[in-house]
Amino acid sequence: MRSMMRGIVLLGGGLALTGCFNRLDTIAIQQEIEAEIESQSRRLSLAEVRCPTNIPKQAGAYFRCVGYLRPEGEFTINVVQQDAQGSIEWDVPSSAVILNLAKVEDQIQQDFAQAFAKRANIDCGALYRLNQPGAEFECEVVGGVVLDAEQITTVVVQVDPDGNLNWYEMREAIAPVTNVANPSAEDSPDATGNSQPAANDRTAPSASANNAETQ
């Protein structure tokens, strides 16, 4: 009888342990999301991230967490399970509280292509920032985009009082490239009217090339 009861106790403990392994470690998920958002944000401080508890591991299952800002404000975090082992992917959509700058960059690139029929690589720096009405920030046009005699190197994003985003481009004039012709003895006629070869004709081409490269 004693050995039978011991077997029942062990079986019960095994069942409880298995049940625990079939649940997501939401504490670890909360810590991971909080650390990632803070490390990839600009002027944004998180108080905490809260996720639902007792979530079973299930590939494709979806749930939401909530991020709480200091001193106030909260935003939604969408989480999707990638497999039955607990791997997840999460995303912070832009909202009235926080901006997902990767999504802002994508939208500006689409608008830029429609406005100028040119592709641009937009880099707004950090991944997340506060959505503050009246704020203004710059995004780099990586490598610049040339339009006639001007180059677009920056776009400025403005947040209007309703939290909507608008942008305009900053343009710089492109300095024209000029070739400075240095007269040489090669072109100087002698007394008979015939051109004389330059004494330093071997070095003249390299000097001209250097001038052109520094223009």
């404000």: which residue's tokens?
Answer: 73
- Cβ atoms of 138 and 116 within 8 Å: the answer is no
Give the dihedral sign, CA 54/60/66/67. positive
The rounded distance, in Å, linking the Cα atoms of 70 and 61 is 30
Q: 193 CB contacts (<8 Å, ≥6 apart)? A: none
Structure-block tokens of residue 166: 């608008």
The number of residues in the chain equals: 215
Q: In angstroms, rounded to a whole number, what is the distance separating the alpha carbons of residues 42 and 139?
A: 13
**H-helix segments, the chain:** 2-21, 26-39, 101-116, 204-214
What pLDDT does residue 58 have? 95
Q: What ranges in 57-126 are assigned the alpha helix state H?
A: 101-116
| SS3 at position 212 | helix
Determine the pLDDT at residue 176.
72
Each of the 215 residues of the chain gets a pLDDT tens digit; together they read 333 333 333 333 333 333 457 999 999 999 999 999 999 997 788 999 999 999 999 999 999 999 999 999 999 999 999 999 989 999 999 999 999 999 999 999 999 999 999 999 999 999 999 999 999 999 999 999 999 899 999 999 999 988 899 999 999 998 776 665 555 544 545 544 554 444 433 333 323 333 333 33
Which amino acid, residue 161? P
Q: What are phi and psi of 171, to 5 degrees?
A: -115, 145
- The pLDDT, as a whole number, for residue 15 is 34
> What pLDDT does residue 180 have?
56
